[in-house]
Amino acid sequence: MECDPNPLSATPAPVSKTPFDPATVILYKRNRFQSRLPRKFLYTRSHFWLEELEPASDGKAPLYKVGFTRFATRMLGEIVEQGFEAKPGSAITVGQTLGWVEGFKALSDVYGVIDGTFEGANTTLNDDPSRIDKDPYYAGWLYLARGTPDPNSTAVDGYMQVLDATIDKMLG
């Protein structure tokens, strides 16, 4: 199954910068790193975000869109290639390797942050993997999955604490 780049609309999502509306986005800044963090997302310590697209209903688990945070993309550098080994419909677990991305600075695995079912990768990344670093919170999402998020996922305030600690550790 190929995933529609914007599964809840009839038109594909354009590449765009994260809009800054203080009601929906927090502007985070520490040292020389800054990012606009969507308030409604969950975040993981491994720098993934999760957006609930459909709540649980009729015996189906909730559907989540998953991607890298701006911090993760900055550490990877410009993304030049990506791929997924996980197949749509396959069972996945938190921490399981689902695929990979290659940036100019690093090669990284893409991990499951949901216990449930892999619903498919963002197929628009096949033609333009740079969407991941250009627009990580919207057009550059990585995959869809149904299930239960990583129990250690946190709201945006908790993720900002993770960023503070990570950046402080990097600065020594």
- Tell me: the pLDDT tens digits for 98-139? 999 999 888 999 999 999 999 999 999 999 999 999 999 999
Beta strands in 11-105 (DSSP E): 25-30, 33-38, 42-43, 48-54, 63-68, 79-84, 91-92, 97-103
Distance CA 7, CA 113 (A): 19
Answer whether CATH 2.40.50.100 is correct for domain 38-171.
yes
Please tell me the distance from the alpha carbon of residue 18 to that of residue 27, in angstroms, as a whole number: 10
Q: Which two tokens stand for residue 163?
A: 């960023």
pTM of the model: 0.86
* Average pLDDT of the chain, as a whole number: 89
Identify the pLDDT of residue 106: 87
162 close to 45: Cβ distance less than 8 angstroms: yes
Q: Residue 110 is encoded by which pair of tokens? A: 């893409």
Q: Are 17 and 4 in contact (CB under 8 A)?
A: no
The structural domains of the chain, with segments of one domain joined by +, span: 38-171
Of 17-21, 65-69, 74-78, the one with minimum mean pLDDT is 17-21
* 82 — pLDDT class (breaks 50, 70, 90): very high
Alpha carbon separation from 73 to 11, 21, 134, 140 (Å, rounded):
26, 22, 9, 10
Residue 11 clears pLDDT 60, i.e. is over it? no
